[in-house]
Each structure stands twice: as structure tokens, then as C-alpha cells.
Amino acid sequence: MPAADSRMLMDPAAMAESVRRLAADILAADNDPQQPLVLVGIHKRGVQLAGRLAAAIEAQTGRAISVGTVDITQYRDDLGSLRDLPSLVGSDIPFDIDNARVILCDEVIHTGRSIRAALGELLDFGRPGRVQLAVLVDRGGREFPIQPDFTGHKVAIGDNERVSVLFSEVDDEDAVLVVSGAAPLSKP
């Protein structure tokens, strides 16, 4: 249930439609069908997005899509400034990414720092032929020159707001909310 200081950006139907459209866009951009296509989700909610995208791609094509996960904790550039250290979940890419088309998935892109960290972790697993970025929500505000290849929804929000994506797999509901009164991100 949305908090009083939040507004609904996407309901479950809009989220499902965005995932379906993202999957179609990923397939439409496939200029080498012989190159393996794999999805890698960034912990925590990028993992759910990757799973849903894989299911949508499988439904559209009938081909099985491998899904892995990356934990960016050890690659963050703000660990020294955090009061509470995030728990290390670990990465799991149980397939070969060498020469593969890797779609890196995250629920929200803001500064680009999480994506930079994920690329560092991803390259520890091999040398992909191509890496592309799929995000459910792009809220702007980049600090790094990183842009998504595939975007479900773009939104312009204030520095005192944040985008909160809820997936039923971990949150018992599907929704994308804009939460007001969020503390601005601290700079490392």
C-alpha cells in the first residue's frame, strides 16, 4: 500500500506493459541472432526485472534465456561514507558470458554509479561481446556518462524525491512510486 507521502507512477498493469515493451525493444535491437542473449540483474530489484524480462522474451520467442545476478557491494564508491554497510549477497552468473550479448538490468537509473559498479563486477565473469542496459525507470540526474539502451518509463523528479519500485516477489505488490521527502543522496 503506498505511503501518504508517495504518488503512484505505475500500477501493476503499467509495469507489466513496460516489461513487455522492454522485451520487445530488446528483441528488435538484436542484430546478431547467433550471439547468445543473457540477462543479468543487479541486486536487489534488478534481479526481479531480469526475471520478468526473460519470461517475456521467452514468451515472445520460445527460446530459453539465461538469467544471472550481480552484487555490486564490493564495487560501490561510497562504502566509506555509509553508516550501515550493505549485506553481501554474492553474484551468480552460472553461464559463459564471453562474446554474449548481456542485458544488464536495474529497476531505476539515477546517477549511473550503480551501473558503473555493476560493469566492474560483470567483467570479472568474462568478456561479453556486447553489454546493454535495460531499466524500468529513468529518473535522470546522471553523474556518470551512462545511459540506458532500453527504458520503460522516464520521469523528472526533485532532489528530495526518490523512485521506489515494488515487485510482488519481494514486496508482495507491484507498483512504482515517487516518494516525497526522501533524503538527498550523500556524495562520497
What is the pTM (predicted TM-score) of this model? 0.89
Phi, psi of 23 (to 5 degrees): -60, -45
Q: What is the pLDDT along the chain (188 residues), one digit of tens a residue?
A: 455 588 999 999 999 999 999 999 999 999 898 899 999 999 989 999 999 999 999 999 999 999 999 999 876 665 555 556 556 678 999 999 999 999 999 999 999 999 999 999 999 999 999 999 999 999 999 999 999 999 999 999 988 999 999 999 999 999 999 999 855 543 33
Spacing of C-alpha 115 from chain mean position: 9
Q: Which residue has the cell 535522470?
A: 140
User: Under a CB-based contact definition with an 8 Å cutoff, are residues 187 and 82 in contact?
Assistant: no
- Cα-trace Rg, the chain: 16
pLDDT value, residue 89: 76
